[in-house]
Chain A
Amino acid sequence: MKKYLRWQGLVSFFAITALIVAFFTIFANQIVKAGIEKGLGWYLGAQVDVEEVDINWSPFIINIDGFAATDPRAPEQNLASFESASAGMDFWQYLFGRVIIEELTIEELKLASPRKTPGEVYRQPQELTHAGDEQSTIPNIQASLPDAKTLLAQLDLKTVQASEALDIAYQEEKILVKEAYEKLPTKERLKTYEDKLKALTKRKVKTLDDVKAIQQEYEALKKEFKQDKAIVDQAKVQLNKSKDRLTDATIELKNAPKEDWERIEKEYQLDKIDAADFAHILFGEHTRKYVETAQSAYELIAPMLGSNTDTTKTTPVPVDPSQGRYIHFDLDNPLPDWLVKKLTVSLADESGLYRIAGSEITAQHWLRDLPSTLLITSENVNQAGQLKADANWYVDKAFSLTTKAQWQLDNVPMPQTQLANSDKLSVAMTQASLSADGMMQTKDKEIDAKSQLLMTKTAFSGQAESSISQSVLDALNKLDPLDLTVTVTGSVDDLDTKISSKLDNILVDMAYDKVDKKLQSFKSDVQGSLNEKMSSALNINEKDANELLELEGLINSSDTSMDKLLNSDVVKQKKKELEKRAKQKLEDKAKKQLEKLFG
């Protein structure tokens, strides 16, 4: 046996192994520290600092002190920092590439805390597309509305244009109608026609030749009539055209004051009082910041929710052939890639101290069929308020994420908050006590969240440039309680944020009260002036209208006379007369013969 074995070799082996183990044990703290700083720094894209790492081997617990991760969007502050954390890990599972933490405790976690020196940024994060970026503004109703005369002089009003157009139309059409009228057959000419016709009518007919002669003369006369009749018809067409144009111009003039008023309403934003979204104007920016924070947090954890090594089980992925790859198979008792069985965090924020208790924090819930749960409580939100929020979420095998959360806030004193700061309105909420409750549900990337907030003991201060802004300020100071309903819906990449409040209706009413008299007087002045302009334009053209009516009468009279002449059938009349005379002659002859016969 001795021939084949060397026991001193065994000693050497264990000695070397012990040396290696000792090396890793001695430098484990530094190795883990460097691993956290480099690994997490690479993941976040910015500098990560760890003051000290201490590893306890039995049980295996990693203690981390003085952690600070730079916010790549704002290097002068931390994304997150904490005083100390301890993680009790399953070392055996760690050897198989799984991070199974039995209990994770983080003390004094701080979000967005300032850094002593700005951290290094390794890569710039992608810009988020934020929901509700559109800026709402206070309606721009001017403090001093102009008087009606100035307004009418300044604005290119439709009433003025329409009255001028009507005037021009009258002048032009009058000329055209007059020209047509002047072409008409004169009264003398018509009289001549009448006389000629009368002469033909009076002429005695004895024979058929006489009738034929009358017919010939009548046909010649009729030819002349027709020529003149065509001129009369042309005049009538021109008259109708002129009447149509003038009717259109008059209708336009009559509608112009209404259209002008609508334009003035728009110009001076008188119509915007109704539609003013005061709640969004005042609280939209703050809501947007909360939504942005939630979006950033989602962006950070989204890659973790999408990781699943099981997907590589049967799908070959292109890899460097010299490196090889791991191929995983189903486990009879599977465990997630990472899991925090119990989580305890104390979050110290400038608004207070929060206790966070969680369980089953992982991204592969289907493996243990347990959802992640989180309970956040605080008794001193802004020194005196209470918070209770709970959430649970579950990722199934198809990576479909389902989340349910609800929260309740009670009597939270609100710090002084600048709500609006523009040249028109500057409002700061100097005091308020906030109570709120809300819920959120998500399915994959779709979010449906609703919060109802109630602010009592409110006090506001600020400055207002316009009357509407002043109304907003006055209304805010009189309102107690102040309610807000915030809804956030849509896809996480494109969220739709809506803020509504009774404040909107109250402010609209108050704004109306404030400006109503001024508005009414302004409205009546402007509308009066517009109507006056319209009436005067209509009166000025009345004379022209009468002249046109007179011309119309004359044209119609000529037309009637011509029709009469054309319709008179002198030939037929004369034929009848001849027949009558022949008949009479025959009767007389018969009478005479009868008298002779009967004595």
Chain B
Amino acid sequence: MLTLIAKLLHALNSEDSPRQVAFGIALGMIIGLTPTFTLHNLIILLFACIIRVHLGSVILAFTFFAGLSYLTDPLSSHIGESLLTSAGLQTLWHSLYQSEIFKLAQLHHTLTLGSLLISIILCTPVALFSQWLIARYRIHIKQFIERFKIVQTLKASKFYGIYQKVAGTV
């Protein structure tokens, strides 16, 4: 737990640009909200490795949104069910179902389709919001927080040791 918080702080305080961290969070959110072992997550993981996003943020966001998915799964499943059983979309699904990739991606699964759709829709807003939030944090909040005595006490604690390990500054 301490490691995770340390990672969060490191991400926020690192030299990486807020955009890199924000995109990391957005990709991690997709992996976290959708069923883990799926084809699209493998592709997202590949993106996360190739594109210069903050990997720690990906892992962190995945952990957070995977927990959040217990709350969102019923809604995701319902959206998927509505789409897959919609009379107007039957021709589309029928033609997509002929493709092996469609089935391999398990997009005929209500939860997978619903959660993927939600996470794709949320991807850009989450990325932009995260970027704005990180920028605001670095400008205003970081210095403000460091002035507190408790923060200074914390810096002398075991937790700070872990943080420094994560940051690679020790």
| Chain A 153-176 near chain B by CB (<8 Å), digits 1 or 0 | 000000000000000000000000
Do residues A324 and B52 form an inter-chain contact, with CB atoms below 8 A?
no
A5 proximal to B (CB < 8 A)? yes
A3 in contact (CB, < 8 A): yes
The answer to whether B74 and A13 touch across the interface, beta carbons within 8 angstroms, is: no
Q: Are A327 and B85 in contact (CB under 8 A)?
A: yes
Q: What total count of A-B pairs have CB within 8 Å?
A: 80
Asked if A597 lies at the interface with its beta carbon under 8 angstroms from chain B, I say no
B46, A13: Cβ atoms under 8 Å? yes
Residue B164 at the chain A interface, CB threshold 8 Å:
no
Residue contact A331 to B74, C-beta cutoff 8 Å: no
Question: Smallest CB-CB separation from B42: which chain A residue?
Answer: A17
* B49–A324 CB distance below 8 A: no
How far, in angstroms, from A328 to B104 measured CA to CA in the complex? 13
Whether A323 is near chain B, meaning CB under 8 Å from some CB there, is yes
**Nearest Cβ on chain A to B122's Cβ, whole angstroms:** 19
Interface of chain A residues 69 through 97 with chain B (CB within 8 A): 92, 95-96
Are the CB atoms of B49 and A13 closer together than 8 Å? yes
Q: Within A1-29, which residues are at the interface with B (CB < 8 Å)? A: 3-7, 9-10, 12-13
Residues of B within 8 A of A3 (CB): 52
Closest CB in chain A relative to B26 CB, distance in Å? 15
Question: Are B50 and A324 touching (Cβ within 8 A)?
Answer: no
> Taking A13-B45, A324-B110 as contacts, is the C-beta distance between A5 and B51 under 8 angstroms?
yes
In the assembled complex, A591 has its CB within 8 A of some CB on chain B: no
Q: Is the interface of B mostly helix, strand, loop or mixed?
A: helix
Q: In whole Å, how far is A330's beta carbon from the nearest beta carbon of chain B?
A: 7
Which of A13, A314, A331, A332 has the most chain B CB within a 10 Å cutoff? Answer: A13
Is A330 a contact partner of B94 (Cβ separation < 8 A)? yes
Q: CB distance A322 to B70 under 8 Å? A: yes
CA distance A436 to B62 in the complex (A): 69
Instruction: Please judge, given known A-B contacts A10-B50, A329-B94, A330-B94, whether A321 and B100 are in contact too, CB under 8 Å.
Output: no
Contact A324 B112 (CB under 8 A): yes
Q: Is B77 a contact partner of A327 (Cβ separation < 8 A)?
A: no
* Residue pair B94, A13 in contact (C-beta under 8 Å): no
Within 8 Å by CB of A321, from B48, B49, B74, B84, lies: B74
The A294-350 residues at the B interface (CB cut-off 8 A) are 314, 316, 321-332
B108-123 Cβ-contact flags toward A at 8 Å (1 or 0): 1111101000000000
Q: Are B46 and A326 in contact (CB under 8 A)?
A: no
Interface residues of B in 76-119 (CB under 8 A from A): 76-78, 80-81, 84-85, 90, 93-94, 97-98, 100, 103-104, 106, 108-112, 114
Q: Which residues of A contact B (CB under 8 A)?
A: 3-7, 9-10, 12-13, 92, 95-96, 314, 316, 321-332
Q: Can you list 24 contacts pairing A with B, beta carbon distance less than 8 Å? A: A4-B51, A6-B51, A6-B52, A7-B50, A10-B50, A12-B49, A316-B81, A316-B85, A321-B73, A321-B77, A322-B74, A323-B73, A323-B111, A324-B76, A324-B77, A324-B80, A324-B81, A324-B112, A325-B77, A326-B109, A327-B85, A327-B108, A327-B110, A330-B94
Additional A-B contact list (10), CB under 8 Å, known A9-B50, A325-B81 = A9-B49, A10-B49, A10-B50, A96-B104, A324-B77, A326-B106, A327-B110, A329-B93, A329-B94, A330-B94
